[in-house]
Structure 1
Amino acid sequence: MKRSILIPYALGLVFIILMTASSSAEVIDRIVAVVNNEAITQREVDRFLAPIYEQYRALYYGDELVARIEEAKQKVMEQLIEDKLILSEARLRNIEVDETDLDGRIGEAIKRAGSKERFEAALKEQGLSLRDLRARYKDQAMVRKLIDQKIGAKITVTPVEVNNYYNNHSGEFIQPEQVKLRNILIRPRSEAGVKEALDLAKDILIRLQKGEDFAALAKEYSSGPNASEGGLMGYVKRGDLLPEIDKIIAGLEEGSISDIVQTPLGYHIFKVEERSERKAYALSDVRHDIEEAIFREKAKEKIKSWVGDLKKNAYISFK
């Protein structure tokens, strides 16, 4: 599960929220498309792609990786355009949002994170500030309110439906055991450089075992995409990584460091920062999510038709 602590279910054709654990805050924020008066930035695209990219890098290589990423990018762009179409319409209609509702959503997010400290850490990992999150919640609320006015008035979600959904989809509301990881990756520069890369990895491992700071060494030596963050990968669960890595991580305690792990990417050293135990969310914790999921399914076709009409009259430009 890629960090669905902060922002719960979206509305299907509205607001992709792909929470990920290791999206970088260091993204060039340029405009890639404009939908009416709403801009889609590179930061938005990259933030939604980041968890997909990290997952795909552990599963695919070469041309297949490139093709998978391009396919995901196209889907993200299509979804963002639809999101912005509805948001633009909501602003045009001067849809207002109750600020106390936003306070409540922030409070729910903190509760689900387990503590304010973990909530703030998750925000940081995703390159978000509290202000960013609040603005996202506000946009989401504006969109939902507009959909309620246009379509939702004809759609009801009853407490019985919510209870039945929770009971019939209990597996969806379990947070599996997660591990917060750091990683140092040493890539051979060429076939001839394999021994040199392995020797460097061995030297780094010895320095770590003597007590040197993992994050500092990751920033200095790692070739991984998260090197600038001290090798921080965020929270991962079993199955997110390559099987040979999963097996090793499963045997590490909090604070411990792995031996050198060889994969097609190079030589890895991992550190387990924290373990989060498996837990099931109570109905009260996920009621809002379930209501959104049921509403989404009922509204899907009506929203699709409505968004199609909005698109016909919209200004859409790619930069």
Structure 2
Amino acid sequence: MSHRTQWTLTTCLTLLLVFRPNPAPAIEDAIIAVVNDELITLKDLKDYVQSTYVSLVAEGMPDAQIQEVMKDMEINGTIKLIEDKLILSQANTLGLQVREALVDERLETLKTKYGSEQKLVDALIKNGATLTDLRNKIRDQLKIKFVVDHEVKDKIFVNPQEVTEYYENNKQQFARQERINLESIFVGYKEDKDAAKGKVDEILKKIGEGVEFSSLVKEYSEAPSVGVVEHGQLLPEVEKIVFNLSLHEISPLVETDNGIFIFRLIGNSPAEIASLESVKDRIYETIFNEKFRKQFRRWVDQLKKDAYIEIKQ
């Protein structure tokens, strides 16, 4: 197997732009790689990148994430296309098939996400693709998933001892800061500080008369209660007061630039290390994903090692 300098997507797109006035078929038919007995052309790469983009748009991935994926494609598009072809070839060798009902099901999910089939079609057309293109991409994605599950994912095992050892060696990852739960009444200054202070005096009077703080929150507060907070989430001068309250204690008035707060502590949780029982599923997932990443890479590298691959300059 020989590996030569990879054509980046930037190079490919630059060629397409340079020759746009006369889109000669010879340019798109230019061979950029050979994988076993299959030729990969510039058009194959262009179609692969386009179908990946369309698929991400159809899935509703945020623009920022799509940009990251496409940026990676710009550098590694040819390699990713080769790897996908090798994985699909392995799926075909194993005789794995994708039921059209699964493709239909995925399409129906996307149609629902877009509101209708026509809106999905319009989005595809806007990005230079068709429903058939999307079906083909979904079919390939499912086939790749099936073969990766069969050849890699289903062979990964995480035993309980590994989970325990990870927990013991990484306890600080599971440290929880002290947290408190606050009910709060906020009265804004708006354009009349005196009116706001008069309202606060009325609230304090009712507190002194034994009126439930919760009912005063509903009646007077101009903002939702603060709720559960940790150190660092409130202004330092506010934290100094509220983190020193006793359970059910009501704070003195806390003045800010925008208005006046009154707090009541209704719950607290001391700083602690989360128990193994409470985080074992998260640890399992972390270990599993790391094993999967390594084993998937080894598997793909072996597919490439066993194949004839030539990347043209």
TM-score between the two structures when normalised by the length of structure 1: 0.43
Structure with the larger helix share: 2
TM-score between the two structures when normalised by the length of structure 2: 0.44
